[in-house]
Amino acid sequence: MRYRRIPLHDMKVDFKKWSALIPVIMLPLGIYLGYRAFRGHSLADVLASVAAIPHLNLAAAFGCAAASYLCLSGFDTLAIRYAGRSLPYRKILLTSFVSLSIGHNVGVAALSSGTLRYRFYSGFGLTGVEVGKIIVFCGITVGLGLMTLGGIALLLHPQSLQEMLGVASPLARAAGVLCLALSAAYVLLSWKLRRPLTIRGHRLYLPSPLIALAQIGIGTLNFGFVAATLHQLLAAASTYLKMVAAYVMGNVAGLISHVPGGLGVLEYVISTLIGEGDVIGALIAFRIVYFVIPLLIGSLLLLASEVHRHRNGADDRRAAQRT
């Protein structure tokens, strides 16, 4: 039996058609992972850990988490401008929040929040190439934000690394300078380099220097708010800069592991590096504030948007039949 070889460039995939499966997969998976995050703790343990936190600190933690998700919508706003498109902010905010509130819990951002971004942005008229640019841009912004915030923390409070890992302060300061130098080099490249970078056969066009600076600013501010969320829940156990250093290391470890939401990894790193007070109780509260509640809201918004999309599609089909 002979088989006809089909050239790759002749193979066509209807991504918009297949994107309809994204909510079917992501919605139940996100809910399951949210459940799995707390199945090892009884409801009484969770409630007791939250009740032990002062109300003012808990309210501040919710405020910092909300500010972080607003910053994350800034990632997408800059990315859309970088891709040469424009959208109303309400659409960007919806897409960013749904994609990341679920993606944070599912893990592997390119496959979770990335596919959800494609589902929404393709419905708003963006092409697959443009959505790909947005995903890469946001990933770079994450790296820049973590690197810059970590560098600032190591420069201002190098003894935190000495207390946590036994690293001498001069070495910690040197690591901080290196982090900030790499962020500065990114801006310099965006200013000086006019041609695209080629990485593994893929061309990467750097943004304008202004957008590059905005990336670093919004990325750093976002992770600053996430660390502030943790600090409010662990205020008695750590200074803010020490918490920043611990969070950056825990987050990097979580990103490398690709564990959904850094589940277990973040808790292990922070409880090991901080190790004072009711760390586990505060980390459970952090999971609720930053991951679980946004996951529930994001899942409801995803469900509502799919119902709205289905109704609009049905209305369009009926209108077409009448004409």
pLDDT tens across 1-47, in order?
A: 444 443 433 334 344 444 445 445 555 654 554 455 455 666 676 67
Whole-prediction pTM: 0.79
Using CB atoms within 10 Å of the CB of residue 1, give its burial: 0 to 12 exposed, 13 to 18 middle, 19+ buried.
exposed
Structure tokens at 1: 């039996």
Specify which residues 204 forms β-bridges with: 197
Q: Which of 91, 166, 79, 170 is nearest to 125 (CA)?
A: 91
Q: Are 234 and 49 in contact (CB under 8 A)?
A: no
Angle, vertex CA 251, rays to CA 180 and CA 235, nearest 5: 95
Q: How far apart are CA 160 and CA 261, in angstroms?
A: 25
Which 8-state DSSP code applies to residue 108? -
Taking alpha carbons only, the member of 282, 301, 307, 280 closest to residue 101 is 301
pLDDT at residue number 218: 97
What ranges in 83-208 are assigned the alpha helix state H?
A: 89-106, 113-123, 128-156, 159-165, 169-192
Side chain identity, residue 54: P
Written as tens digits, the pLDDT of the chain (323 aa) is: 444 443 433 334 344 444 445 445 555 654 554 455 455 666 676 677 777 788 899 999 999 999 999 999 999 999 999 999 999 999 999 999 999 998 887 765 656 788 899 989 999 999 988 998 999 999 999 999 999 998 998 888 887 777 666 778 788 889 889 999 999 999 999 998 877 777 666 677 889 999 999 999 999 999 999 999 988 988 766 788 888 888 888 777 666 555 555 555 676 667 666 765 557 778 888 888 998 899 999 999 999 998 888 787 655 555 545 55
